Amino acid sequence: MINYLQRKYALSEKGAKDMVRACITCIFSNIGLMLPIALLFFLTSDLMGGGVPAGKARIYIIGTILCLAIVFITTYFQYNATFFATYTESGIRRITLAEKLRKMPLSFFGKKDLSDLTSTIMADCAQLETASSHWIPQLIGSVISTTLVAIGLFFSDWRMALAALWVLPIAFGVVLFSSKVQFSLNKKQMAVKMACADGIQECLESVRDLRANNAEETYLQGLDEKIKMVEKRAVITELGTAVFVASAQMILKLGIATVALVGGVLLREGSISILTFFMYLLLVSRLYDPLQMSLQNLAAMIASDVQCERMNDILSHPVQTGITQLSNQGYDIVFDHVGFGYQEAEQVLRDVSFTAKQGEVTALIGPSGGGKTTVSRLAARFWDITKGKITVGGMDISQIDPEHLLSLYSIVFQEVTLFNNSVLENIRIGRKDATEEEVITAAKLAHCDEFAERLPQGWDTLIGENGSELSGGERQRISIARAFLKDAPIILLDEATASLDVGNESKIQEALSRLIRRKTVLIIAHRMRTVAGADKIVVLNEGVVAQQGAPEALLETKGIYHTMVELQAEAQSWKMV
């Protein structure tokens, strides 16, 4: 049962146990609400028999107080077991999803949009939070408590019990029969909601380009269509659910009519007393009201299967694992007949072999799309290769836990990611336990002081979402400062100076030359002057190593490297006429 609930509703083990506890408290709460009816039955029986004896009056008073106490106690425990436990589990679920995402290979994120993942962690978790607190325990509690009451009714008078209860399996059957239809409707609704969310996010991220190209009106027209489609699908989904739920609720109401009809016939025949007839009428009116809500809860539970499926898609996805003990002997990076593709049918790398030695700078160059960035990211195990082997100091990186492996790397990407925090804290990402003096020293090596000290609050100035308050070159320098601060034995540089002007580029390259001493350096560059001082050049073309060797040797071979050097020399001499 616990395992089933964990799989079905993406719960932790504690959350599944709490849900069982919540269902049990709902059962007792519902039974507790039935006790006043039993007390009323006996009181009415005494009143119709000539009055309440003096000795029984005290019993009824005490019974009333006990009923109120039982209702209060069971409701109290139900509230704690459903709402408080659910909110705790909702936090656990979000953290679990975030932890799972943290350990996933980047290939997963290539298949998912950011808005989709954000919706799963926020909106889908909120939906299941409501399901766990309002729908599931109440439904299960109502069904089980109704079953227990039904057994008692059959012992009292099976004919009246049958007249009261025959509608229940039919009503619930109607809603259950619609499960596939509702799941399909909710899945389609979720698809258009995600398309709309993607459109809104894309619009916000590209508003500058849209405005620059006078494309805002055209784009917003398309976005407006997506919003209208969300509205349309919501109406269709609600209508599809309402058809089945409203029909089931109408069937449920027939039970009152059959109780009155059968009870009237039996009363006329003298088979039951008027008190029994009155009790059944009172009971079904109390019984059907919560069951009507249970039918809505059942439909809502079926609808939440879409959210559960989306969360389980994350929770069931394989993660990158490995041992935490590093066994490398040195820091040479060796690619041994490596093959890789982002999609199974398309290979980006086919047979790549080279060695980036410790204490040397190995430059990756080649035409766009040749696999340079892919090689650098495979070296850090951002993805897992499909063929061959990559080792660091003789250690197979596919067997090493990614987080422990990355302790060996300092990485500067071409696309810098910054946080809406201070300059200091953005640099401190490189090493969280660094002192303020160490952070500032690293920042000065990357020449961050040239702009940071001019900011309104200096080093403590908030730089906006993804560094929106800074220029491209300033953002790049913060990224380089992180690498200085981490000071790892392996350096990966992906166009590290691409966003810098000539003056700053020279300063940064001078600082980088101090950073990379005695380390393994893998650098990606498109400017041939950037790699002219490399110890080794690896030319990648169409997923294979086309050339490799020292720059001087490659220039003499008249191959791709020689051609790229000549083309860039021509481009630098170009001028407008």
DSSP-derived letter for residue 335 is: E
Instruction: Round to whole Å and give the CA distance between 69 and 76.
Output: 10
Check whether 514 has a pLDDT greater than 80. Answer: no
pTM over 0.85? The answer is no
Tell which wins on pLDDT, 60 or 410: 410
Check whether 35 has a pLDDT greater than 60. Answer: yes
Average pLDDT, the chain: 83
Select 333-572's CATH number: 1.10.15.40, 3.40.50.300, 3.40.250.10, 3.90.79.10: 3.40.50.300
Instruction: Round to whole Å and give the CA distance between 450 and 458.
Output: 11
Across 232-251, average pLDDT: 89
Asked whether 518 and 359 are in contact (CB, 8 A), the reply is yes
Residue that has been written with the tokens 């993805």 in this structure: 383
User: Any long-range contacts for 216-222 (C-beta under 8 Å, 24+ apart)?
Assistant: none
Highest mean pLDDT range out of 281-290, 367-376, 389-398? 389-398
Residue whose C-alpha is closest to residue 342's, from 300, 305, 373? 373
Instruction: Round to whole Å and give the CA distance between 60 and 39.
Output: 8
Tell which wins on pLDDT, 482 or 135: 482
Segment 94-108, tens digit of pLDDT: 888 888 888 887 777
Across 344-361, average pLDDT: 87
**pLDDT attached to residue 503:** 67
Check whether 577 has a pLDDT greater than 60. Answer: no
**pLDDT attached to residue 304:** 82
Helix (H) or strand (E) holding 33: helix 13-48
* Pairing state between β 544-549 and 536-541: antiparallel
The tokens for 103 are 């350990």
The residue extents of the domains of the chain are 2-315, 333-572
Check whether 576 has a pLDDT greater than 60. Answer: no
Check whether 464 has a pLDDT greater than 60. Answer: yes
Fold of 2-315: ABC transporter transmembrane region fold (1.20.1560)
Residue 5 corresponds to which amino acid? L
**pLDDT attached to residue 54:** 66
Across 181-186, average pLDDT: 87
Helix (H) or strand (E) holding 354: strand 349-356
Report in angstroms the alpha-carbon separations of 353 from 7, 139, 332, 333, 337. 43, 61, 13, 11, 5
**pLDDT attached to residue 146:** 79
Asked whether 484 and 414 are in contact (CB, 8 A), the reply is no
Residues pairing with 490 in the sheet: 409, 520
First to last CA, the chain: 79
Report in angstroms the alpha-carbon separations of 159 from 254, 277, 544. 16, 11, 82
The SS3 call for residue 276 is helix
Asked whether 7 and 312 are in contact (CB, 8 A), the reply is yes
Across 251-277, average pLDDT: 85
Q: How confident is the model at residue 497 (pLDDT cuts 50, 70, 90)?
A: low
Instruction: Round to whole Å and give the CA distance between 512 and 51.
Output: 100
Check whether 287 has a pLDDT greater than 80. Answer: no
Percent of the chain with pLDDT over 70: 94
Instruction: Round to whole Å and give the CA distance between 280 and 40.
Output: 12
Tell which wins on pLDDT, 568 or 354: 354
Asked whether 510 and 457 are in contact (CB, 8 A), the reply is no
Q: Point out the least confidently predicted range of 133-147, 412-426, 448-462.
A: 133-147
